[in-house]
Chain A
């Protein structure tokens, strides 16, 4: 392919003097448009080649990057279905026209949208199309000798001359040793020494871009073979890790339900503390869940304290504490006088003060079924806004319910939402004046339903914790890719390649030593100093080597670097290094 022969460096050289790999755009060269235009239609192969060249060009990469940045923004501003399904519904309800339009183009699930995938896949394709040829070029450069010494060292951005008494060979040998000491790769030719350093820059550059590809592979692996499930466990109860005990689960296409780690745990205690002081009142301060974990059937159980930033790792599976809430403990007695329900019922927190909504379903009640829906308020107040909670901790726990009854129904196996009540087929229980019958319970209280339909007792309350059970294969690969990417990035930005040449020849009974230097990346300082020092080391510095000296005076006041050296690039960069 054409890219083999034209190194990226060359192509950019023709367009500008500054080094192209300032950060290491790993793009293929942008030399002349390879599309034969006009006369005849492109053959498929040529067309493909034209497409490939354009896809892997730096301009396309830049456009795709910008497109990616723009395309990701709607997902930050609009609610997203995977994380906030209810917000999406209410957004669409509030803005029906715009909402439906957004929905149809995937704005509520941007990161799974085909157009988003298209952008990043094209980007990665473009990336790979750049890494491969550039790696080849780099490997060749690693084996190649440092570039030949330019004819006129005085035209380089930095140069100096000195005179020495020793023979040419001795001077060159000293230059070689000195440059070796400074960790240059050195090549001694007839009357000169060529030295180059900073090879790690391009290596870091390639590693960085390659790591991004590995990162994508790791992400894809985790998404395909991993899963994430949630389960609500009231304090005092347990949980065995089987797929049927999850409340909900999202998993990738290659997830195998048989592979679940066979652990079990019980939640013995959950401690929540909230700020009671005046500043940030109600903010969370402590969440701790004390668990007893059994890694597999028959194994010895051990205690574990689960905290927000301290997940439990068991059998390759992570258990995170992600939410907590309240579960009133109630007993329902039916119209026949039998206990038809007794237990804890988790309620879902609705706000920061844990106003919690839920439903109590006593389907076993006879002669008629009973059900309740309402709120649990950990610190209840009733004011003009109605009953609500004013603090997240349980200082004044109360249960506010409405009640329904209905004829017994067949169990039909249709799953129902445990946190809300479907009232179809049910009749709301009303008080004598026809208003809905309102139940307000404190722990220990019992309320009799009208017309002898039964009673409900609030025995107390428990806390529940929401545990997230997840397995993300490829996590190590992903982490490794990120570490490699950051390392490579640092190398590609902070290693600054430099070339130095030394030429010596006999003149007037002495040896004239010329030193020239060239920085191959922007934003490097100290080239003049290094060249001067080297000249001084090799011989007696000549006064007339003045060009850099003058500059040094100005440079001290002037950020010391680029203007002068950048100008120098035009004249000085005719090194043939990259051209084989």
Chain B
């Protein structure tokens, strides 16, 4: 088996294992959901069946063994989700590295390579959160994103290993594409956090935080993580556009030509600028800003997939 075959097999395997991880995390969420409802129902039951003590229905002093067991199940499912994610991540990393070895260059030459590398960064951020801060609540969304993204990569975007076209022979191309991949990963992490923020903030507003949501950090803390991801990504995205412009100046003699890709990059940039400003403006803070962040990530994805596949421009090269 040569590197290319190893890479292809590993990429498919990674997508499948991410799927299992996503299923485990989904189980974690749903187990917690059942738990909460059971807690309400079982407490009166316990009172009836129990040894006769006037146990408080609202706040049972002694932990209900069934609740304990349910929490344990949630914990087990969550941990297996993380374990599966670690396995998938290792296989995924192997796939990306062998892809580079097979092509004898950095594996960022086309959509397939870009999306697989970028998702590797997304999962890396998630795993860092798990290992360094014990936060695994991004697990469900991160593994779902990785599953769908890698699935798209191996089915729709896939191209065989090939050398680069001459216009990609540039140092600035490296800077441009690495910055794009990392900032894209951070934007996606930010978007995942923003989704959870919207869900959690809604529950908090209704005073109805139940199930797995209760295990999430406060909406404010989620918002802070989202902000950090975006604040990290935004300067990097600015640099991505700047490096692309410098490269364009070398390749085409104009640093900005309103190519569809350039335009959508700017649109994405402006949307995230709106996000950062909105976060500091009364009336837009919170939900408004989170929604704008999601619009921003939609623009990012449209720029990546839509522009490459639907619109012809200077970025349509290398097959896909």
A309 in contact with B234 (CB, 8 Å): no
Q: A69-B274, A76-B260, A523-B228 are in contact. Are A559 and B280 (CB under 8 A)?
A: no
In A493-538, which residues have CB < 8 Å from any B CB? 493-494, 522-523
Known: A76-B260, A472-B254, A485-B238. A559 touches B133 (CB 8 A): yes
Are B318's CB and A25's CB within 8 A? no
- What residue of chain A has the Cβ atom nearest to residue B169's Cβ? A309
Q: Are B231 and A493 in contact (CB under 8 A)?
A: yes
A287 at the interface (CB under 8 A from B): yes
A19 to B234 alpha-carbon distance, docked (Å): 19
The answer to whether the Cβ of B43 comes within 8 Å of any Cβ in the partner chain is: no
Task: Give the CA-CA distance A561 to B218 in the complex, in Å.
Answer: 11
Classify chain A: how many residues form its interface, as a range: 35 or more
B127 on interface, CB distance cutoff 8 Å:
no
Q: Within 8 Å CB of B135, what residues of A?
A: 559
Given contacts A308-B167, A485-B238, A559-B133, contact A75 B276 (CB under 8 A): no
Most A C-beta atoms less than 10 A away, residue of B135, B232, B252, B281: B281
Q: Which of A284, A479, A485, A523 contacts B165 (CB 8 A)?
A: A284
B250 touches A493 (CB 8 A): no
| Residue B73 is within 8 A (CB to CB) of chain A in the complex | no
Residue on A with the closest CB to B129?
A: A559
- Contact A559–B224 (Cβ < 8 Å): yes
Report if B13 contacts A (CB, 8 A).
no
Tell me the smallest distance from the CB of A263 to a CB of chain B, in Å.
Answer: 16
Check B307 for interface membership: any CB of A closer than 8 A: yes
Q: Does B271 contact A (CB under 8 A)?
A: yes
**Pair B277/A25 contact, Cβ less than 8 Å:** yes
Give the residues in chain B near A23, CB-CB below 8 Å. 231, 276-277, 279-280
Query: How many Å from the CB of B285 to the closest CB on chain A?
Result: 7
With beta carbons under 8 angstroms apart, the residue of B166, B170, B224, B278 that contacts A522 is B224
Q: How far is the CA of A566 from the CA of B163 in the complex (A)?
A: 52
The reply to whether the CB of A73 lies closer than 8 angstroms to some CB of chain B is: yes
Known: A275-B162, A284-B165. A22 touches B263 (CB 8 A): no
Tell me which residues from 190 to 226 in chain B have a Cβ below 8 Å from any Cβ of chain A: 217-218, 220-221, 223-225
Task: Name B134's contact: one of A73, A310, A475, A557 (CB within 8 Å).
Answer: A557
Instruction: Point out the residue from A19, A277, A470, A482 that lies within 8 Å of B242, measured CB to CB.
Output: A482
Cβ contact within 8 Å between A16 and B282: yes
In this assembly, does A265 line the interface, its C-beta being within 8 Å of a C-beta of chain B? no
CB <8 Å contact, B273 and A65: yes
Tell me which residues from 240 to 275 in chain B have a Cβ below 8 Å from any Cβ of chain A. Answer: 242, 245-247, 249-260, 263-264, 266-267, 270-271, 273-274
User: Shortest CB–CB separation between residue B105 and chain A, in angstroms?
Assistant: 13
Contacting residues of chain B (78-100) with chain A, CB-CB under 8 angstroms: none
B160 beta carbon closer than 8 Å to chain A: yes
Which chain A residue lies CB-closest to B242?
A: A482
Question: Which of A40-48, A56-64, A363-371, A427-435 lies at the binding interface?
Answer: A56-64
Contact B221 A523 (CB under 8 A): no
Question: How far is A283 from B252 in the complex, measured between Cα atoms in Å?
Answer: 18
Residues of chain A lying within 8 A (CB to CB) of residue B260: 75-77
Q: How far is the CA of A68 from the CA of B303 in the complex (A)?
A: 16
Considering the chains assembled together, what is the distance between the CA atoms of A27 and B280 in angstroms? 10
| Complex contacts, A308 vs chain B, CB 8 Å | 166-167, 169, 251
Verify B258–A111 contact, CB threshold 8 A: yes
Min Cβ gap A418→B in Å is 23
In the assembled complex, the Cα of A310 lies from the Cα of B231 at a distance in Å of 35
- If A22-B276, A493-B231, A559-B135 touch, does A75 touch B253 (CB 8 Å cutoff)? no
Q: Would A66 and B227 count as touching, CB distance under 8 A?
A: no
Please tell me if the beta carbons of A322 and B264 are within 8 angstroms of each other in the complex.
no
Is residue B284 contacting chain A, with contact meaning CB distance below 8 A? yes
- Determine whether the beta carbon of B253 is less than 8 Å from that of A562: no
Do A66 and B274 touch across chains, with their CB atoms under 8 A apart?
yes
Q: A65-B273, A280-B319, A559-B135 are in contact. Are A72 and B263 (CB under 8 A)?
A: yes
Closest residue of chain A to B253 (Cβ to Cβ) is A320
CB pair B162 A16 closer than 8 Å: no
Q: Is A318 an interface residue (CB 8 A)?
A: yes
- 0/1 interface trace, chain A 196-225, chain B, CB 8 Å (1 if under): 000000000000000000000001000000
Question: Could you say which residues of chain A place their CB within 8 Å of the CB of B247?
Answer: 309
Q: Which secondary structure characterizes the binding site on chain A?
A: mixed
Q: Which residue of B lies closest to A63 (CB)?
A: B274
Report how far A318 CA is from B227 CA in the complex, Å.
42
Is the CB–CB distance between B224 and A523 below 8 Å?
A: yes
Is B124 part of the contact surface with A, judged by Cβ < 8 Å? no
Contact B165 A283 (CB under 8 A): yes
Q: Does A228 contact B (CB under 8 A)?
A: yes
Q: Is the CB of A311 within 8 A of B311?
A: no
* CB <8 Å contact, B280 and A283: no
Contact of B281 among A25, A278, A470, A563 (CB under 8 A): A25
A478 lies within 8 A of chain B by Cβ: yes
| A76 CA to B303 CA, complexed, in Å | 9
> Which residues in B have their C-beta under 8 angstroms from that of A561?
221, 224
A493–B225 touching, CB < 8 Å: no
- Judging by beta carbons under 8 Å apart, are A83 and B167 in contact? no
- Do B239 and A73 have beta carbons less than 8 Å apart? no
Residue of B224, B239, B271, B280 with most chain A CB atoms under a 10 A cut-off: B280
Q: Find B278's partner among A62, A68, A287, A320 (CB 8 Å cutoff).
A: A62
Decide: A83 near B259, CB < 8 A? Known: A486-B242, A489-B238.
yes
B282 touching A12, Cβ below 8 Å: yes
What is the distance, in angstroms, from B161's C-beta to the closest C-beta of chain A? 7
Residues of A within 8 Å of B231, CB to CB, are 23, 493-494, 523
Judged by a CB distance under 8 angstroms, whether A331 is at the interface is: no
Q: Does A490 contact B (CB under 8 A)?
A: yes
Give Cα A446 to B239, complex, Å: 58
Q: Provide the residues of chain A in CB contact with B282, threshold 8 Å.
A: 12, 15-16, 30
Q: Of all chain A residues, which has the CB nearest B161?
A: A279
Chain B positions 154-192 with a Cβ under 8 Å from a chain A Cβ: 159-163, 165-167, 169-170
Contact string against B for A residues 1-38, beta-carbon threshold 8 Å, 1 for contact and 0 otherwise: 00000000000100110111111110100100000000
Smallest CB separation, A181 vs chain B (Å): 28
Partner of A65, one of B165, B218, B259, B274: B274
Q: What is the minimal beta-carbon distance from A216 to any residue of chain B, in angstroms?
A: 12
Q: Is there a chain A Cβ closer than 8 Å to B34's Cβ?
A: no
* Chain A neighbourhood of B249, CB < 8 A: 475
Q: Establish whether residues B271 and A559, one from each chain, have CB atoms under 8 Å apart when the complex forms.
A: no
**How far is B281's CA from A24's CA once the two chains are assembled, in angstroms?**
10
A74 to B49 CA separation, bound complex (whole angstroms)? 68
A219 cross-chain contacts in B, Cβ below 8 A: 256
Say whether A468 contacts B252, CB under 8 Å: yes
B235 interfacial by beta-carbon distance below 8 Å: yes
Report A239 CB to chain B, min CB distance, Å: 16
**B285 / chain A contacts, CB cutoff of 8 Å:** 16, 18
Contacts of B224 in A (CB 8 A): 522-523, 559, 561-562
Known A21-B280, A309-B169: A62·B274 in contact at CB below 8 Å: yes
Q: Which 5 A-B pairs have the closest CB atoms?
A: A23-B276, A320-B253, A15-B282, A76-B263, A279-B160
Q: Which residues of A contact B (CB under 8 A)?
A: 12, 15-16, 18-25, 27, 30, 58-59, 61-62, 65-66, 68-69, 72-73, 75-77, 80, 82-83, 110-111, 219, 228, 275, 277-280, 283-287, 307-311, 318, 320, 322, 468, 470, 472, 475, 478-479, 482-483, 485-486, 489-490, 493-494, 522-523, 557-559, 561-563, 566
24 of the cross-chain contacts (CB-CB < 8 Å) are A12-B282, A16-B285, A22-B280, A25-B281, A58-B277, A58-B281, A66-B271, A66-B274, A69-B267, A69-B271, A72-B263, A76-B260, A80-B258, A279-B160, A280-B319, A284-B166, A309-B167, A309-B247, A311-B253, A485-B238, A523-B231, A561-B221, A562-B221, A562-B224
Q: Contacts A22-B280, A65-B277, A279-B161 known; list 17 others, CB within 8 Å.
A: A12-B280, A22-B227, A23-B279, A68-B270, A69-B271, A76-B260, A76-B311, A80-B258, A279-B160, A280-B318, A284-B166, A309-B251, A468-B253, A472-B255, A522-B227, A562-B223, A563-B221
